[in-house]
Amino acid sequence: MTRTVIESKTKTVVIGFDEPFCVIGERINPTGRKKLAAELEAGDFSTVERDALEQVACGAMVLDVNSGAVFTNKMAEDARYADNNFVEPPLMRELILRIQAIVDVPLCIDSSVPGALEEGLRACEGRPLLNSVTGEEERLELVLPLVRKYNVPVVAISNDDTGISQDPDVRFAVAKKIVERAADHGIPAHDIVVDPLVMPVGAMGSAGQQVFALVRRLREELGVNTTCGASNISFGLPQRHGINAAFLPMAIGAGMTSAIMNPVRQVEMEAIRAANFLMNHDPNGGEWIRFAKVIEAVEGGMSFAEASAAASQATSGRRGGRRARG
């Protein structure tokens, strides 16, 4: 069976057909968060640290770390800051060091700047996931050598030099090309995690069906794990979380093995934990029963993040206790 192994300093996470769904926390990303970008520019990492702790407590098994910040003030003083090749590599390094200092989960190094990817690879303990390569020729030839050199798995996004195709067969062909090109570089299929690209169902009625069919093909024909930006499916729609919470179990049922998403959301995490149970990836429902206590605490008035943190501390306490007795 296909197993993509990623590691932090001491922890191993396996993305795989026979594993619980891998939740990759998306929040450490200044691209869409101006306030966070301004904090990073000022050297303030408190939001990043809080997001790291909160996402892990809520159930993120891996944290995505995106360094795509625009430093507008510095740019006004020094023209080099207009270049992401200048800004991102040291920022990625700093982000990773800060995050590794407080949580022990594998990281997903996320940048469009090859220099930032390599700086991230140097800074990471364990075996991170690299995010991402695409089918674009330039990107393939820049990223695959890094994947090979550092022996890490990589997210492969199904677009190429012609853009993102609306035709799922074209997106499958792009994924296949990336897997083949990776093989030329000596990279095995089990180290490629394909993102088949999720379109908004509000704009394209077949978007859900496309993803489910693509995931099945990617799994059966290419033998690869899959991931996606799950919340894209509900872009522009009212009551988005309801759409996301049905999409995730359906994608899991079709064979999707991970998603890059916001884990600080009860509805989506509840859907994933229930789907894990229904896929027979939660022996005796132990995880579900623990999670049910978190839902009860939320029903009692706590926020999901607070309730998750409390449950997570209780578990570490018990685990610590067991270790001490062992």
Token code pair at residue 80: 């080099």
| C-alpha to C-alpha distances, 165 to 168, 199, 260, nearest whole angstrom | 7, 10, 21
Do residues 23 and 36 lie in contact, with contact meaning Cβ atoms separated by under 8 Å?
A: no
Sign of CA dihedral 24, 28, 29, 32: positive
Q: How far is the CB of 92 from a copy of itself (least distance, A)?
A: 35
Name which position in 32, 186, 242, 317 contacts a copy of itself (CB under 8 A): 242
Question: Is residue 115 part of the contact set for a copy of itself (CB under 8 A)?
Answer: no
DSSP 3-state of 253: helix
Interface with a copy of itself includes 279 (CB under 8 A)?
Answer: yes
Applying CB under 8 A, does 124 fall inside the site for a copy of itself?
no
CB of 155 to a copy of itself, least distance (A): 23
Of the candidate spans 62-70, 114-122, 171-179, 244-252, the one that interacts with a copy of itself by CB under 8 A turns out to be 244-252
Q: Does 79 bind a copy of itself (CB under 8 A)?
A: no
CA distances from 271 to 9, 62, 74 (A): 29, 18, 43
Residues 6+ positions from 323 with CB-CB distance below 8 Å: none
Assess 38 for contact with a copy of itself (CB under 8 A). Answer: no
The one among 42, 101, 102, 292 contacting a copy of itself by CB under 8 A: 292
**CB closer to a copy of itself out of 10 and 239:** 239
Which residue, 200, 220, 219, 223, is CA-closest to 210?
200
- Cα(213)–Cα(208) distance, rounded to whole angstroms? 9
Site for a copy of itself contains 270 (CB under 8 A) = yes
Kindly state whether residue 5 participates in binding a copy of itself, applying the rule CB under 8 A. no
Whether a cis peptide bond, with omega within 30° of 0, leads into 132 is yes
Contact pattern from residue 184 through residue 213 relative to a copy of itself, giving x for each residue in contact according to CB under 8 A and a dash for the rest: -----------------xx--xxxxx--x-
Binding of residue 252 to a copy of itself (CB under 8 A): yes
Q: CB of 89 within 8 A of CB of 68?
A: no
- Chain contacts with a copy of itself (rule: CB under 8 A): 201-202, 205-209, 212, 233, 237-239, 242-243, 245-247, 249-250, 252-254, 270-271, 273-275, 277-280, 282-285, 288-289, 291-292, 295-296
